[in-house]
Structure 1
Amino acid sequence: MKQDVITLNQKQLVRLNMINQANSGFITVKETAEALGLSRRQVQRLKKEVREYGAAALIHKNSLKPPCNALTRQHKDTILEIRKLDIFRDCNFAHFRDLLEEHYDLKISYATLHKLMTSEGIVSPKKRRRTKPHRRRKRLPQAGLMLQLDGTPFAWFKGRKTMYCLHGAIDDATGQITALYMCKNECLYGYFHMFQRTIKNYGIPISVYADRHTIFRSPNRDKAELDPTINVADTQFGMAMKDLCVQIIPARSPQAKGRIERLWGTLQSRLPVEFALRNITNIAQANDFLETYIYEFNSQFAVEPKLRQSVFRKPDPAINLDYVFAIREQRTIDAGGVFSYRNKTFQVEDGSYTGRLPAKTRITVLFNPDLGELGMKAMYKGFLFDVTRFIPEKRSKALPKSEPSKSSHLVKKDHPWLRPKTASEKYGYTLTDREVLSILEDAFLK
C-alpha cells in the first residue's frame, strides 16, 4: 500500500519535535508553550492531534486547498488573450493592470499579474537602467510654491513616427500635473497655453522651475550677472511671468528637475495606449483629452503635501490674461497711425487715449490669436487700441519714357548721295595722288 508523503518546513519540524517530547513526558506543557510561543491550550490541542494523526496534524488544513480569491484558469486565459492585442503590446504591467480594471472590469493585484505575465515569458517593455546617485531634494511643503516646467518630444500616436512636443507643469509639493498641452514642437505658444490652463485649474504659483531654454531665459543673462552694466531684456515668457509676479528659477541639469523628467517617462508609456483606445489621432483631439486626463492621473499618483494650505493665487479680475500671454513687439507708427507687422500693414484706431497718437510714436503690439479677429491689439502708456488691417492704394506704374522723334528731311532726287555711282566708284577703281599729278603734267607742261 502506497503511503502519502508529508513534507514539513523547518518551523513545523521544530514544533513536531517539541510536541513529541511533551507527549513522551520529557518536558512539561508549560515549558513547551514557552519554547514555541504558544498558549497552554494550543499545546494541549497539538499533543492530542499529533497522537491521533501524527505529523500531518501540524500542516494547516487549508494548505492544500486553492484560495477563494485565487485567479481562475478562465480569468488567466482571458487576461493573456487581451494582452496579445496590438494595442496593449507596448503597455507596462502597472498600466495594463489599470486598463483591465477600467475597460474589462477585471480586478487583479500587481503581484499576481506580474507572476502571470512572467510565467508566460512576457516582459514589461519599460526598461530600467542603472541610475547615477543624486542627492534627493525634499519636496516643498505647500502646493503652489513651485511648479516644474518642461516639454518633451515623442511619437505619441501609435503607428505614426511623427514626433510632437508635450508641454507640462507639475507641482513640486504634491506631484500633481497642473496642465498639459501638445504642439508640433517646443514653443512659446505651447507654454503660454499650458500656463493659462494651470491658472484656470489651480491658480498662479509663486515660482516656476525650468531649464535654461531661450524661451525662459536670455542667453546673455549669465553675462549680465557678472557685469551689471549689461542690460538684458526679458523674454516673452519672462515678461508674462513678471506681470503675474511669478519668479523663474533656472535649473542647471535635468536631474535638478527630476520630478517632471520622471513624469515624462510615465506619460510616454501610458498616453500612446490611452490615445489608441480612444481613437485619438491628432493634436486637437489630444489637447481636449488631456484637459480632463490630468485629474485621473493625479488621483492615482499625487501625494499629500506637508502643509495642507495651498498658496496658489487667483488672478486679479482686472487683469486680462489674453493680454498677459500675448507676444509683445515694439513698432513705430506714421502720421496716419499705420505700422507694419510681419510684412503687413495695420492702422491704430482711436481709443480712450486723449488725442491722436503723433507720428513716430513707439507703440507695443500685442499678438495673440485669442485677441479678436486679427488677434492683435496696440498699447501705448497703458492704453489699449484696436487695430485694423490697412491696405495701401496701389500706385499706377509710370509709362516708359519715349525718345523724342527726329525731324524727317526730304532729300532731292538729284542730290549727290542719290546719283548713280561711276564704275570706278562702284568697284573702287580710284587713282592715286601720284597718278593724278602725272596726268596734269602731261596736259599742261608738255
Structure 2
Amino acid sequence: MKTRGDVLMKAEEARRAFVIKQAVAGAFTVREAGEVLGLSYRQVIRLKNRYRKEGAVGLVHKGRGKASNRRIAQEIRKFVAEKAKSDFEGASCQHMEELFASRYGLELSAKSIGRILKEQGVACAHRHRSPKGRRCRERSRRRGDLVQMDASPFDWLGDGVMRSLHGAIDDATGEVVGLWIEKNECLSGYLRVLRQMLERHGVPRAIYADRHTIFVSPKTGKLTIEEELQGKVAPQTQFGRVLETLGVRFIAARSPQAKGRIERLWRTLQSRLVIAFRLAGIRTVEAANDFLGTYAEQMHNPKFAGAPAEAQNAFLPVVEGTNLDLLLARHEQRKACGDSTVAFGGQKYRLQDSRGRTRLLRRGKAVTVVEKLDDELMALADGEAFVLVPVVTGKSSEEPASEEKSLARGAQEREQTSPAAESSWHWYLHPREPIARAIHNPQETTPGTW
C-alpha cells in the first residue's frame, strides 16, 4: 500500500475510507459495507482493491487538483472582465448573460459571469436580494383595467445630465405601453406617452399616478366650507381634462410603494436601457425617443411581460373622429379683443379658417387657444378649429421715422415763432443774452440795448 502523506478529504470521503478500511481488515463483509455506504457489491470490491494498492488516496476523486475540461478559457475570462468594465458597465450578471449570447455568441451562465467578475476583482452592480415581507396588492385581472404612469429623473444618456423618462406600464401584464424622454417631468412628456398608448393599445379604464400637480390641482381638498357652499370647485388640470374627455378614471397614489410596479420598472430600465443606448451609440434626446418607439415592443416586453389572469382585453378603441392633435394639447381660455383678435404669449393673433378667410369675433367672445405638442397654435370657437395667424402692426418700424419727423417739425415751428433779435420781446424772453454778449464781446455792445 502506497502512502502519500496527509490526504485532505471531505466528511463523506473520510467516512467511506473508514468503512473500506474496516472491510479490508475483515471487520465488515462486502455486503455489509455496501449497505452502510449505499454502494453496490461490485463497487465495494473495486474500492477495496484500490485501497490495497494506493491506500486512502485511492478513494479520493481522481479529478481533484486538476483543471476541469469544461473550464472557461483564460482569454474568455479576460474578455468578460473587460466588457464588464466598459460597454456592459452597470449591467447585472443576468443581463450580461443575454448580451454575450446575442452579440458575441458566448453561452455563459449568470453564475459563471459572477464568479469570473469576483476572480478578476470587478464589482457587480446588482446582487440578488431576498424579497421583503410586505403585503402586495393583487394585479388587475384584465389587460387595460389599470395603467400606472410616472417619470424618473436619471442620467439616461450617460453624459452627466439628468433627464426625465416618462413611462406607462400595464398593471395586469407588466407590459410597457409608452416611453418618452424630456428635460424635466412635464405635461408634454405624459401626453406623448398617453398618445403612444392610445395609438398602439387603446383607452384604458383607469390610470394610477402620483399626486403631482400635472395630474392633481394643488387646490384639491383645500377648499373651505364657505367656498364649497358657493359652488366653487378645484380647477381641472390639463391632463385631467384629457382623461375626462376620454372617459378614463384617475386614481391618485399616496406613496411610491403604492405604485410599486412602475417603480420597479425604473430600477430595471436604469440598468438595461442605459446600456442599450450606449451600445446603439445614442447621444441626443431626439435619437433616444426614436429608439424608445421600438424598444419596449421588441426588447423589454418579450422578456418581462406576462399573461393576464383573464384573456379579455379591457382596452377600448379611441372614438372614431377624435382629433388627437387637438385633444392631447394645452388648452388656454382667451377673450376676443375689439379688433377680432386674441392675445396669447404677448402676441395678437387672428383666426383663419381652412379657406384662408378671417373669422370675425365680437368683443369678449370666448376662444380656446390650443398649443399642440409640436408648438403649433390653433384656436377653437363655436366648435370649429382655426389657425392662429400673427398680427403684424408695423408700429415698431414706423416709430423712429415718425419721431424724427415730429422733432424736426417742432424745431421748425419754434424757429418761425421766435421773436426777432431787435424786438423788445426778445430781451424780455432772454434777459441774460445781452449780458453774456457784453462779457465776451464788449465792443459789440452799445448803451441802450439792454
The TM tier, using the shorter chain, reads 0.7 to 0.9
Query: Which one-letter code corresponds to 1:257 in the other structure?
Result: K
Give how far 1:388 is off. Answer: 2.6
Change over 3 Å in CA distance of 1:304–1:70 after alignment to 2: farther
2:50 aligned with 1:50, yes or no?
no
Check whether the contact 1:164–1:183 (CA below 8 A) recurs between aligned residues: yes
2:301 aligned with 1:301, yes or no?
no
- Residues paired across the two proteins, number: 409
> 1:273 aligns to what?
275
* Percent of residue pairs bearing the same amino acid type: 31
Give how far 1:56 is off. Answer: 7.6
> 1:147 aligns to what?
147
Check whether the contact 1:19–1:32 (CA below 8 A) recurs between aligned residues: no
| Correspondences of 1:218-229 after superposition (within 5 Å) | 218-224=217-223, 228-229=228-229
Identify the match of residue 282 of structure 1 among 281, 284, 293. Answer: 284
Identify the match of residue 367 of structure 1 among 367, 371, 387. Answer: 371
> 1:83 aligns to what?
84
Give how far 1:51 is off. Answer: 3.6
| Correspondences of 1:166-177 after superposition (within 5 Å) | 166-177=165-176
| Correspondences of 1:26-425 after superposition (within 5 Å) | 33=35, 43-54=40-51, 69-85=70-86, 87-126=87-126, 134-158=134-158, 160-224=159-223, 228-229=228-229, 230-295=232-297, 296-350=299-353, 357-370=361-374, 375-394=376-395, 396-397=398-399, 399-400=406-407, 402=410, 405-406=416-417, 408=419, 421=447
> 1:441 aligns to what?
none
> 2:440 aligns to what?
none
Q: Give CA-to-partner distance per residue, 1:342-369, whole Å, 9 cap, x none.
A: 12222112479xx964332101111114
CA distance in 2, matches of 1:393, 1:6: 102
What SS does the aligned partner of 2:318 have?
A: coil
Check whether the contact 1:126–1:269 (CA below 8 A) recurs between aligned residues: no
What SS does the aligned partner of 2:222 have?
A: helix
CA distance in 2, matches of 1:189, 1:305: 30
CA distance in 2, matches of 1:163, 1:216: 22
Check whether the contact 1:166–1:183 (CA below 8 A) recurs between aligned residues: yes
Change over 3 Å in CA distance of 1:64–1:224 after alignment to 2: same
Change over 3 Å in CA distance of 1:202–1:409 after alignment to 2: closer
Check whether the contact 1:142–1:308 (CA below 8 A) recurs between aligned residues: yes
Q: Give CA-to-partner distance per residue, 1:169-213, whole Å, 9 cap, x none.
A: 122222222111111111111111121112233222221111111
What SS does the aligned partner of 1:138 have?
A: coil
- TM-score, normalising length from structure 2? 0.77
What SS does the aligned partner of 1:151 have?
A: strand
Check whether the contact 2:81–2:122 (CA below 8 A) recurs between aligned residues: no
- TM-score, normalising length from structure 1? 0.77
CA distance in 2, matches of 1:97, 1:250: 39
What SS does the aligned partner of 2:337 have?
A: coil
Change over 3 Å in CA distance of 1:151–1:56 after alignment to 2: same
Query: Which one-letter code corresponds to 1:45 in the other structure?
Result: R
Check whether the contact 1:331–1:364 (CA below 8 A) recurs between aligned residues: yes
CA distance in 1, matches of 2:142, 2:347: 48
Give how far 1:102 is off. Answer: 2.4
What SS does the aligned partner of 2:40 have?
A: helix
> 1:442 aligns to what?
none
Larger Cα-atom Rg: 1
Check whether the contact 2:205–2:314 (CA below 8 A) recurs between aligned residues: yes
Q: Give CA-to-partner distance per residue, 1:322-342, whole Å, 9 cap, x none.
A: 111011011122355311111
Which is richer in helix?
Answer: 2
What SS does the aligned partner of 1:124 have?
A: coil
> 1:439 aligns to what?
none
Query: Which one-letter code corresponds to 1:241 in the other structure?
Result: L
CA distance in 1, matches of 2:218, 2:127: 36
Give how far 1:32 is off. Answer: 6.2
Change over 3 Å in CA distance of 1:410–1:278 after alignment to 2: closer
Query: Which one-letter code corresponds to 2:348 in the other structure?
Result: T
Gap regions ≥5 residues in structure 1:
427-446
Give how far 1:13 is off. Answer: 5.1
Q: Give CA-to-partner distance per residue, 1:74-118, whole Å, 9 cap, x none.
A: 322332343343x33444433333322222221211111111111
Change over 3 Å in CA distance of 1:131–1:221 after alignment to 2: farther
Query: Which one-letter code corresponds to 1:48 in the other structure?
Result: I
Give how far 1:393 is off. Answer: 4.6
What SS does the aligned partner of 1:148 have?
A: strand
Give how far 1:29 is off. Answer: 5.1
Query: Which one-letter code corresponds to 1:175 in the other structure?
Result: G
What SS does the aligned partner of 1:223 have?
A: coil
CA distance in 2, matches of 1:344, 1:109: 63
CA distance in 1, matches of 2:132, 2:223: 33
CA distance in 1, matches of 2:154, 2:89: 18
Structure 1, 67-76 or 308-317: larger mean CA deviation: 67-76
CA distance in 1, matches of 2:214, 2:104: 44
CA distance in 2, matches of 1:48, 1:410: 148
Q: Give CA-to-partner distance per residue, 1:376-426, whole Å, 9 cap, x none.
A: 22213433233333323538556357366447468599xxx999549xx99
Check whether the contact 1:368–1:376 (CA below 8 A) recurs between aligned residues: yes
Give how far 1:274 is off. Answer: 2.2
Structure 1, 318-327 or 89-98: larger mean CA deviation: 89-98
